Structure 1
């Protein structure tokens, strides 16, 4: 995911956390240890975009990963200064 985000959002600042251990045994936990993630991303290109547009951009960059290989991804997408 990090490589896809870096390619799609040049010069973005992001933190990607693997939260899978906190969801062990819950729905969507496939035992791989890589089912639930949270992302905070700050990118100048998000300025003037709605929250929905920002999340759509992140999902587009990640392709089929969320919903298939990754059960859950919490996205916090910000512009600089937010």
Structure 2
């Protein structure tokens, strides 16, 4: 027996694919805001980072608590939703 528990809305999934969510949010990043890291740099660092300044090619200089500064591509983080 197969149990299909995937929710649907009018025959389609009500969830957006992660790739579409990233595209929507990439345009909304601003300096001095916190973002959620999709992959942490070490087991001892936080899973959030503070955006410091934008660079070319959708990259940002960020500060990660208990790690320090890093350069990340916008595909490596998402906004923190309150």
**How high is the TM-score relative to the length of structure 2?**
0.25
Choose 1 or 2 for highest CA Rg: 2
Specify which structure has the bigger relative contact order, considering alpha-carbon pairs within 8 angstroms and separated by 6 or more residues: 1
Which protein has the bigger strand share?
2
